[in-house]
């Protein structure tokens, strides 16, 4: 066994180091938390000021910590290096490190490395960060201030009619003033007949030899007059060309909008390199004049905030229980930012169930902040769409402003995906029983494994814990709503085919219950080892009726094999025992809802008139078994099962027709299920 462990360490290399580092907090541990600047690209001959965020991950305060920034160009030539010193950094704190400025003069792909250089650092794995930055040879930053029009290097071409782009210092039809400075570019749709169009073409822009995805940013004036002609309203179409002659359309923006004023537009381009031209094609529908201003490409990301992740709610939430939506918001730009953040929750058929706005004040560049929205209590069992959006005026990159998540409002008593940064989750306990290893929070690392739901899962390090080690993860106290209420525990567990037979059998997970969170009684056990591919499997445990408050325990038992992972724990009420026995007169597979499936989740209900061994399965049209949802003995009653449109090894199935079957020794039912979109 020791030989196997040593060999595994050699083979796994960096992964083993990561797992070990994650299991403890060091006394002396300082590292680069993120590279704030430069970003993915920077402009040739424009001053660059590198900025890093450094964090003290350790338990001791640190003084006089050197931080080094090195920038390498083509053929690994050192272009720049600079060292700054952090005078004092308390345990857990972060510090912004601003390096001396530098001006790149060559368009090339740079490798930016920032690292801390603490002499007694116990964990060098987090000391440095690396980023690739493309130097572009030219950037458009045009506000049409020069009296010469088109600006030097720009061109205008009339495609149809006699009107062309012009420079304007004030606007008529509609009345407006320039967005930036004293002038703007204008096209006289008010005078040009319907179908007239003209192009305003940028100078050639050299993006360098390495493809990347640049961002075009500009402002356009909109008004509410003349909503549409024969071909719709007047519009500006954004085009791209590699030769300045043949253009391909990327986006279009109509001039008509119900609200009058300047609106910021941004287009993220597909990866490209070399010489490109940008065209603004103005198309007249004989409406109002069109104006654009403050054109930038590639856009320097000076003002950019966005929602990094939705922390709460997760994939499920209990009906009639207060929900507090929480988002993690980050300032990706260079400047201090204050802005509103909006949370909206949409229910079935697009019904707006909830909306709330919170304001963020003075968020430093590179920093994140948790935004807690006001509480809301859902009262309808349905699938909701949760949307969170940072709504900062003048945001240079709106593509990262928002995040979206689907949340099932369910009658589960307990739903836990271990996605909050705090572990164990609020109300839970994690207690070592034998040995020193305990349950921990797991996040993605090189896909080994990916958490089943959300960014995290819970895990126990059987790979390191000696044989016989145990730890228990305990739920919060669960108070029954009524006497004799039955429960079903659902959870997902990660299985793999490694290390099948240590001396006492494979690593395993025992499911227990307790009435006092001290004395636990075993209900079921699941071994980690399973043959075949590594995969997540859903497990269901039928619990008896409880009349008093109770707890569920997840006891991880190590046989010095592989780590144990669990995720997406749900405790569901199944009904009153007397009702299950006396009130069900027919056995039937009920309607599947929704059907067709458009959101990757359908609810399956069936009734049993008498106790029976039950099989509930999903097949494809060729008769191949896709998913076994139920395979166990059940009492008489009504049962509800969710299928998340994944197969038995956790893979998402393709859209198409499937068949749901319910069978036992005495009956068999089959219903067709159509999956339109997953």
**Residue 74: per-residue pLDDT:** 82
In tens, the pLDDT along 528-556 reads: 888 777 888 888 887 766 777 888 999 99
In a domain, 108, yes or no: yes
Domain count, the chain: 5
Q: What is the DSSP letter of 2?
A: H
CA distance 386 to 372: 14
Both 459 and 490 in one domain: the answer is yes
In a domain, 1, yes or no: no
Both 485 and 632 in one domain: the answer is no
Both 255 and 145 in one domain: the answer is yes
Phi, psi of 451 (to 5 degrees): -55, 150
In a domain, 401, yes or no: yes
Below-70 pLDDT ranges, the chain: 1-25, 137-138, 229-232, 299-301, 315-316, 410-413, 444-448, 481-486, 501-505, 544-545, 573-587, 590-591, 593, 677-678
Pairing of strands 41-43, 128-136: parallel
CA distance 166 to 219: 16
Of 576, 597, 622, which residue is a domain's last? 576
In a domain, 12, yes or no: no
Helix/strand/coil for 551: strand
Both 177 and 269 in one domain: the answer is yes
Spatial contact of 567 and 536, defined as CB atoms under 8 Å apart: yes
Residue 241 CA from chain centroid, whole number = 33
Max CA separation in the chain (angstroms): 89
Both 317 and 367 in one domain: the answer is yes
Both 377 and 509 in one domain: the answer is no
CA distance 291 to 165: 9
Both 125 and 158 in one domain: the answer is no
**Residue 610: per-residue pLDDT:** 74
Spatial contact of 512 and 556, defined as CB atoms under 8 Å apart: no
| CATH number of the domain that residue 451 is part of | 2.60.120.200
**Residue 446: per-residue pLDDT:** 47
Of 242, 272, 297, which residue is a domain's last? 297
Both 146 and 291 in one domain: the answer is yes
**Residue 387: per-residue pLDDT:** 95
Both 117 and 255 in one domain: the answer is no
In a domain, 15, yes or no: no
Which of 620, 668, 628 lies closest to 538, judged by CA?
628
In a domain, 302, yes or no: no
Both 463 and 571 in one domain: the answer is yes
| CATH number of the domain that residue 127 is part of | 2.60.40.10
Of 97, 132, 167, which residue is a domain's last? 132
Helix/strand/coil for 19: helix
CA distance 180 to 169: 11
**Residue 501: per-residue pLDDT:** 64
User: Burial, 356: exposed, middle or buried (Cβ in 10 Å; 0-12, 13-18, 19+)?
Assistant: middle
Both 321 and 369 in one domain: the answer is yes
Both 35 and 104 in one domain: the answer is yes
Domain that holds residue 119: 26-132
Residue 634 is encoded by which pair of tokens?
A: 């059940």
Spatial contact of 200 and 290, defined as CB atoms under 8 Å apart: no
CA distance 113 to 95: 17
Residue 244 is encoded by which pair of tokens?
A: 């300045």
**Residue 368: per-residue pLDDT:** 82
In a domain, 35, yes or no: yes
Please name every residue paired with 342 in a beta bridge, in sequence order, or none if there are none: 357, 389
What is the distance in angstroms between the CA of the first residue and the CA of the last residue of the chain?
A: 44
Torsion sign across C-alpha atoms 32, 37, 40, 42? negative
| CATH number of the domain that residue 598 is part of | 2.60.40.1930
In a domain, 474, yes or no: yes
Residue 465 is encoded by which pair of tokens?
A: 């814990």
């Amino acid at each position: 066994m020791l030989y196997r462990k040593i060999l595994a360490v050699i083979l796994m290399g960096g992964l083993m180091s990561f797992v070990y580092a994650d299991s403890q907090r060091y006394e002396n541990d300082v590292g680069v938390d993120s590279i704030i600047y430069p970003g993915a690209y920077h402009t040739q001959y424009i001053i660059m000021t590198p900025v890093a965020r450094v964090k003290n991950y350790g338990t001791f305060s640190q003084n006089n910590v050197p931080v080094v920034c090195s920038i390498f160009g083509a053929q690994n030539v050192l272009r720049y290096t600079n060292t700054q010193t952090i005078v004092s950094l308390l345990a857990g704190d972060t510090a912004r490190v601003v390096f001396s400025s530098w001006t790149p003069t060559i368009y090339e792909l740079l490798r930016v490395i920032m690292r801390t250089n603490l002499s007694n650092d116990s964990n060098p794995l987090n000391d440095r960060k690396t980023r690739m930055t493309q130097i572009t040879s030219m950037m458009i930053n045009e506000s049409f201030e020069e009296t010469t029009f088109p600006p030097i290097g720009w061109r205008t071409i009339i495609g149809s009619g006699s009107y062309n782009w012009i420079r304007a210092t004030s606007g008529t039809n509609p009345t407006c003033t320039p967005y930036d400075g004293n002038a703007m570019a204008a096209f006289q749709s008010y005078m040009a007949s319907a179908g007239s169009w003209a192009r305003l073409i940028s100078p050639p822009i050299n993006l360098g030899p390495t493809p990347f995805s640049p961002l075009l940013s500009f402002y356009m004036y909109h008004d509410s007059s003349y909503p549409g002609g024969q071909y719709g309203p007047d519009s500006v179409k954004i085009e791209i060309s590699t030769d300045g002659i043949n253009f391909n359309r990327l986006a279009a923006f109509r001039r008509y909008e119900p609200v009058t004023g300047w609106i910021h537009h941004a287009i993220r381009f597909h990866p490209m390199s070399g010489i490109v031209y940008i065209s603004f094609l103005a198309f007249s529908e004989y409406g109002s004049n069109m104006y654009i201003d403050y054109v930038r490409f590639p856009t320097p990301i000076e003002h950019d905030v966005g929602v990094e992740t939705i922390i709460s709610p997760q994939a499920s939430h209990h009906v009639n229980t207060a929900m507090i939506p929480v988002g993690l918001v980050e300032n990706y730009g260079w400047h201090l930012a204050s802005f509103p953040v909006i949370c909206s929750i949409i229910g079935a058929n697009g019904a707006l169930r909830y909306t709330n706005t919170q304001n963020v004040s003075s968020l430093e560049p590179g920093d994140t902040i948790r935004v807690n929205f006001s509480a809301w209590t859902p009262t309808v069992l349905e699938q909701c769409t949760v949307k969170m959006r940072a709504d900062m005026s003048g945001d240079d990159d709106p593509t990262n402003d928002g995040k979206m998540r689907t949340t099932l409002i369910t009658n589960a008593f307990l739903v836990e995906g271990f996605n909050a940064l705090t572990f164990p989750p609020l109300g839970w306990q994690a207690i070592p029983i034998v040995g020193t290893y305990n349950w921990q929070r797991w996040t993605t690392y090189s896909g080994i494994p990916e958490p089943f739901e959300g960014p995290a899962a819970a895990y126990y390090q059987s790979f390191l814990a000696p044989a016989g080690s145990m730890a228990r993860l305990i739920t919060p106290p669960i108070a029954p709503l009524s006497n004799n209420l039955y429960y079903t525990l659902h959870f997902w567990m990660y299985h793999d085919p490694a290390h099948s037979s240590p001396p006492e059998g494979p690593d395993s997970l025992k499911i227990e219950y307790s009435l006092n969170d001290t004395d636990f009684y075993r209900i079921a056990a699941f071994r980690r080892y399973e043959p075949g591919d590594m995969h997540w499997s859903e497990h269901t445990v039928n619990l008896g009726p409880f009349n008093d408050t109770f707890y569920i325990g997840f006891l991880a038992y190590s046989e010095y094999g592989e780590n144990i992972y669990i995720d997406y724990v749900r405790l569901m009420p199944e009904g009153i025992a007397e009702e299950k026995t006396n009130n069900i007169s027919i056995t039937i597979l009920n309607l599947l809802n929704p059907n067709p499936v458009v959101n990757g989740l359908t609810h399956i209900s069936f009734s049993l008139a008498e106790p029976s061994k039950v099989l509930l399965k999903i097949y494809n049209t060729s008769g191949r078994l896709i998913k076994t949802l139920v395979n166990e003995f059940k009492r008489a009653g009504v049962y509800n099962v969710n299928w998340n449109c994944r197969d038995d090894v956790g893979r998402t199935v393709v859209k198409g027709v499937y068949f749901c079957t319910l069978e036992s020794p005495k009956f068999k039912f089959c219903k067709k299920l159509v999956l339109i979109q997953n």
